[in-house]
């Protein structure tokens, strides 16, 4: 009669029947990728086979989910910065997880060296890199932005900058500031400081009363400090346009 939440880890080598049993007993299961590709995993753990040990188990879960109820679905995790993988490599594997494996969530863990291990002399990954990948995941999974749009957040070497990736996407999406009184929902959610909830509030508000000042947006949940450079009201812009220079 346990009424809590059960999350079980599926280990490499688990049989399909054991995976089924785990799914029948739990709310969520996970098979951790740890790395974004076969070559990267070979560096982390040569004894594991990426396709046979990891991806095959994810496919078990995906296929069994058609007949076995798994309320919270399957998830996975990747270590960030243990090898020389780029953020773009991680992002591409993230897309594969959502589109092909039907994963519910992808988690990230910034690498930290441990004394006495083979990687003890490797550099610790900065925490902001993990945070930026979570932001990219949110833009993909919740906002529904396409890969080609999110690509604007990566530099030429495939790494994210230590800034909100939505800023780079907005710079790429807009030639000039947009008016919240006439902008579409899709335009609004691409503005830093405006999320789906505040975009819907803007749409409802302007049906009843025109938005006349930035503080009207603040009252609707918009983070005006971040959104200001990308917005104009009645042709007036509250901040400079150096984001487009």
Q: pLDDT truncated to tens, each residue of the chain (245 aa)?
A: 888 999 999 999 999 999 999 999 999 999 999 999 999 999 999 999 999 999 999 999 999 999 999 999 999 999 999 999 999 999 999 999 999 999 999 999 999 999 999 999 999 999 999 999 999 999 999 999 999 999 999 999 999 999 999 999 999 889 899 999 999 999 999 999 999 999 999 999 988 899 988 989 999 999 999 999 999 987 777 655 455 44
Please return the burial class of 218, using the count of CB atoms within 10 Å of its CB with bins 0-12, 13-18 and 19+.
middle
175: Cβ–Cβ under 8 A, 6 or more apart, which residues? 244
91: Cβ–Cβ under 8 A, 6 or more apart, which residues? 133, 136, 150, 154
Q: How far apart are CA 231 and CA 240, in angstroms?
A: 11
Residue found under tokens 């230590």: 162
DSSP single-letter state for residue 124 = P
Q: How far apart are CA 82 and CA 69, in angstroms?
A: 35
Q: How far apart are CA 21 and CA 47, in angstroms?
A: 26
**In this predicted model, what pLDDT tens digit does every residue of 62-113 receive, in sequence order?**
999 999 999 999 999 999 999 999 999 999 999 999 999 999 999 999 999 9
Tokens of 189: 């959610």
Cα dihedral 169, 175, 180, 183, rounded to 10, equals -90
């Amino acid at each position: 009669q346990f009424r809590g939440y059960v999350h079980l880890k599926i280990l490499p080598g688990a049989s399909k029947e054991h995976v089924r049993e785990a799914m029948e007993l739990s709310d969520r299961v996970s098979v951790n990728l740890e790395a974004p590709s076969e070559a990267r995993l070979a560096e982390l753990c040569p004894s594991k086979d990426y396709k046979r040990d990891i991806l095959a188990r994810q496919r078990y879960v995906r296929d069994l989910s058609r007949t076995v109820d798994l309320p919270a679905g399957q998830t996975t995790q990747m270590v960030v910065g243990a090898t020389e993988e780029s953020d773009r490599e991680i992002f591409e594997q993230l897309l594969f997880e959502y589109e092909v494996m039907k994963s519910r969530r992808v988690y990230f863990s910034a690498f930290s060296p441990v004394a006495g291990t083979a990687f003890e002399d490797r550099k610790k990954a900065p925490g902001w890199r993990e945070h930026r990948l979570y932001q990219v995941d949110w833009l993909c999974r919740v906002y529904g932005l396409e890969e080609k749009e999110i690509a604007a957040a990566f530099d030429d070497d495939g790494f994210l900058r230590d800034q909100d990736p939505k800023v780079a996407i907005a710079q790429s999406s807009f030639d000039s500031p947009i008016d919240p009184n006439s902008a579409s929902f899709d335009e609004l959610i691409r503005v830093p400081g405006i999320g789906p909830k505040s975009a819907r509030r803007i749409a409802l508000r302007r049906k009843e009363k025109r938005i006349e000042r930035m503080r009207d947006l603040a009252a609707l949940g918009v983070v005006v400090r971040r959104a200001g450079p990308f917005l104009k009201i009645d042709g007036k812009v509250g901040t400079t346009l150096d984001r487009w220079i």
